Structure 1
Amino acid sequence: MSKTVNTVLGPVDANKLGKTLMHEHFFFGYAGYHGNSLYSAKKNDIIRIGVEVANRAKAHGVTTIVDATPNDSGRDPELLKEISEQSGVHIIFATGYYYEGEGAPAYFKFKQGLGIAEEEIYEMFMSEIQNGVGKTGLKPGVIKLGSSKDRITDYEQMFFRAAARVQKETGISIITHTQEGTMGPEQAELLISEGVDPKRILIGHMCGNTDISYHLRTLEQGVYVGFDRFGIQKFVGAPMDRERIGTLIGLIGLGYENQLIMSHDTVNVWLGKPPEFPEAMIGLVENWHVGHIFENIIPALKRGGVTDEQIETILVKNPQAIFGGESSKNRTKDEIEKVVR
C-alpha cells in the first residue's frame, strides 16, 4: 500500500514526516460545548495560538503534529490547514469519535437501537478518507478510537469494528484513547482479531498505567504504545511524570524502543469556557505544553541511560513506521528475552 499519509496540505511521504508528536490537540471541546453561547473562541485567536504552539514545537525540531481531535469534539480541518500554512508544520488530523463517557453518543446510539449504526460509521470513515470532510476536500490521515475505563462498551465496539474494516481496505493507521490507561491489551486484541495490521495501530495514553506487565501484554501483540500524556499529572487518573519516565526507561531497557512513541495530549484552546484548575493542581500541569518532552523529559531519559539513537527511534522512526514508512526491525519476544538474560 501507499507510503504517503494525508495532511491538511495534502499527501506527504511517510518517510519524510521527521520528528513527530503523535497526539496533540490544537483545540478541543467536550461534546455540548457549542450549547453555551456565552463562550465562543474566535477563529483568529485559535489560529494565532495554534501557530504559536506549532512554532514552539518547531523550535525543538518537530516537523509533524498529529491532531487527535475526534469529529464530536470540535474538529475543524480548515482551521488546522491555516495553522499548518502559517507555521510550516505538517498537521495530520483524524476521523473518529470519542469514547462514550465524554463523547457525543446520542446520534449513533439511536441508530444502534435500529441496528444500522455500524454501517453508517463505516460509510462516514470511508467517505472522509476517500473524499474529504464535507466540502473541504481535506482528508484525514488517521482514525481515532476510544474506550471507557475498564471496558470497551457496545457503543465503542461499533467504532472499533468499523475502523478495522476501513483499515483493511485503505491501509490507514489507527490511534486510540485509553481512559486512564486501561483496556490497552484488549483494544489491541479486538482490532487485530478484526484483521487490522498491528504495525498500523497506536494504543494511546498507555502511560496512564505504570505496570510493566500490562505494557508487555500490549506490546507483545506487535502494536505501538503511546507515552503521550507527559505534563498531565494527577489529572484524569494520570500518574506523575517521574513514574512514567521510570516505566518508559524500563521498557526501553527490555528492548521495546521500536514500539514506543512520546507526546503530550495538550489542549491549546478549549472550546467553550476553559476549565479552571484548582490552585493545588496548577503546579502539576504547569509543564503541559508541546515543549515539555524536549525541555524536561528527554534530559531525564538521558540521565537514565537512554541514548540519542533510541530517542530518535521513538520520535522519528516509529511515527514514520506507523504511517507505513520504513521502520526499525521490531525484536521478537525470544530476542528480547535474550537481551534481558
Structure 2
Amino acid sequence: MSQKVNTVLGPVLADELGKTLMHEHFFFGYPGFYGNSLYYPNNREEILRAAMEFAEIVQAHGVKTVVDATPNDTGRDPELLKEIAERTGLNIICSTGYYYEGEGAPAYFKFKQALGTAEDEIYELFMGEITEGIGKTGIKPGVIKLGSGKDAITDYEEVFFKVAAKVQKETGISIITHTQEGTMGPEQAELLVSEGADPKRILIGHMDGNTDINYHLRTLENGVFVGFDRFGIQGFVGAPMDNERVGTLLGLIGSGYTDQLMMSHDKVNFWLGKPPAWPDELKKLTENWHPGHIFQNIIPALKEGSVTEEQINTILVKNPNRIFGGREAVRNLKGNRDAATVGDEVK
C-alpha cells in the first residue's frame, strides 16, 4: 500500500513522486526583505520566469517533484507555488514551519514564549495548515520545516522541534530540517526521536556541511535520513568544497547507508527584496550552485567512485518515496505501523 502526500495541487501518491529534489527554494527572502519598498513587492512575472527556467532544467534531468523548503517567515507563498506547479507540471511540496532563530523572524513567538502561549499557538498553526490549509488558500503543506543555529539548539528553536514531533505523531507528516554550518545534526535527530517522531519520516538537512564521518554515523544511528542537499554552495558560510562532500558521501554509500541518503542543492532560485551582489571570488566559488549541478557534475563524480545507477536511483527516487510513506517505506516497515498518516492509503 502507498500513502499520499500533499502537494500544492492536491494529494499525490508517494509512489508517483518519481525523481525528487528534497530541499530547494523557488523564491526566498530573509525576514525584513519586505521593508525595502524599492524592491518589494517583487515582480511576480519575473519570479515565474525564473521558476520556469528552474523547472526546465530539472525536468530535463527527469525530476518530477521538488520540495520547496521555504518556511513561513522567509517569504513562503503557496498560491505562487501553485501557479508554478500548474505552469510547469512539477509536483511541488510546500512547507509549514519557521526558520532558525539567527536568520528567521523570532520576535513574534519569543514574545509568546514570554507569555507562556508559544507552544499552544505553534501547535495550532501546524495542525491548522496541515489539516485545513494555509490561510484561505486550501493548499496544504507536505512537510514541516525546522531549523537550528550553529553549535546549539536554542530554547526558541527547541519549542518548534517538540511541537513538530507531537504533530508528526498525530498526522504522519514528514519533517525536514536545516542545520547550520555542519552542526547539531545528531542532536536534532535525537531530540525529534526522543519526543516520539518517526525517524523514517525525518530528513536532517544540510548534513554535507560536515565531512566528519562519525558525525554522520551518530545521526544515522537514529534511523533518520540525512541530506547532502547544499551541493554548489561551497567555500563560504562554513560549507566544505563539493569534492570533500563527494568523498564523505562515497564513504557512507560504501558503508551501506544508501537507504538513508538524499541529495539536493538548497538553491535559491529568486531572492525576494533586492538580489544579493556577490563578490567576484564568491561568484567563482558558487558557479555550480544551479539546479542541474547534481546531474551534470555530482552524479558523474559518484559513478567514478563506483556508485551504481541503482544506488543513485535509491537516493533520488526510492528514499523520497520512503519518507513520504510509499510502497518502499511499507516494505521497510516490516509490519511496524506506529505512526498515523496524512491522506489515504491505497492498495
| Shorter-chain TM-score tier | over 0.9
State the partner residue of 1:177: 178
String of CA shifts for 1:254-294, please: whole Å, max 9, x gaps: 00000000000000100011111111111111110110000
What residue identity is the alignment partner of 1:306? Answer: V
What residue identity is the alignment partner of 1:72? Answer: D
Instruction: Normalising by structure 1, report the TM-score.
Output: 0.95
SS of the equivalent of 1:3 reads strand
String of CA shifts for 1:58-106, please: whole Å, max 9, x gaps: 0000000000000000000101111111110100000000000000000
State the partner residue of 1:83: 84
State the partner residue of 2:17: 17
What residue identity is the alignment partner of 1:237? Answer: G
State the partner residue of 2:126: 125
Native 8 Å contact 2:28 2:272 kept in 1: yes
State the partner residue of 1:151: 152
Change over 3 Å in CA distance of 1:87–1:278 after alignment to 2? same
State the partner residue of 2:342: none
Figure out how many residues of one structure are paired with residues of the other and give that number. 331
Aligned ranges for residues 20-39 of structure 1 at < 5 Å? 20-39=20-39
SS of the equivalent of 2:163 reads helix
SS of the equivalent of 2:177 reads strand
Measured in 2, the distance between the counterparts of 1:289 and 1:65 equals 14
Measured in 1, the distance between the counterparts of 2:67 and 2:281 equals 31
String of CA shifts for 1:240-261, please: whole Å, max 9, x gaps: 0000000000000000000000
Instruction: After superposing the two structures, state which structure 1 stretch, 49-58 or 254-263, moved more.
Output: 49-58
Aligned ranges for residues 159-170 of structure 1 at < 5 Å? 159-170=160-171
Measured in 2, the distance between the counterparts of 1:205 and 1:325 equals 24
Structure with larger RCO (C-alpha < 8 A, sep 6+): 2
SS of the equivalent of 1:179 reads coil
Matched, 1:186 2:205: no
What residue identity is the alignment partner of 1:236? Answer: V
Matched, 1:228 2:267: no
Measured in 2, the distance between the counterparts of 1:330 and 1:324 equals 10
Matched, 1:315 2:301: no
Measured in 2, the distance between the counterparts of 1:134 and 1:218 equals 35
Q: Between the two proteins, what is the percent identity of the paired residues?
A: 74
String of CA shifts for 1:210-248, please: whole Å, max 9, x gaps: 000000000011000000000001122100000000000
Instruction: Normalising by structure 2, report the TM-score.
Output: 0.94
What residue identity is the alignment partner of 2:25? Answer: H
Measured in 2, the distance between the counterparts of 1:330 and 1:166 equals 23
Please report how far the alpha carbon of residue 330 of structure 1 lies from its aligned counterpart in structure 2 after TM superposition: 6.8
Measured in 2, the distance between the counterparts of 1:206 and 1:327 equals 23
SS of the equivalent of 2:250 reads helix
Please report how far the alpha carbon of residue 44 of structure 1 lies from its aligned counterpart in structure 2 after TM superposition: 1.1
Aligned ranges for residues 87-106 of structure 1 at < 5 Å? 87-106=88-107
SS of the equivalent of 1:202 reads strand
SS of the equivalent of 1:102 reads coil
Measured in 2, the distance between the counterparts of 1:49 and 1:81 equals 15
Superposition misfits of 4+ residues, deviation over 6 angstroms:
328-331
SS of the equivalent of 1:181 reads coil
State the partner residue of 1:338: none
String of CA shifts for 1:150-173, please: whole Å, max 9, x gaps: 000000001001101100000000
Please report how far the alpha carbon of residue 327 of structure 1 lies from its aligned counterpart in structure 2 after TM superposition: 2.5
SS of the equivalent of 1:327 reads helix
State the partner residue of 1:337: none
SS of the equivalent of 2:178 reads strand
State the partner residue of 1:139: 140
What residue identity is the alignment partner of 2:131? Answer: Q
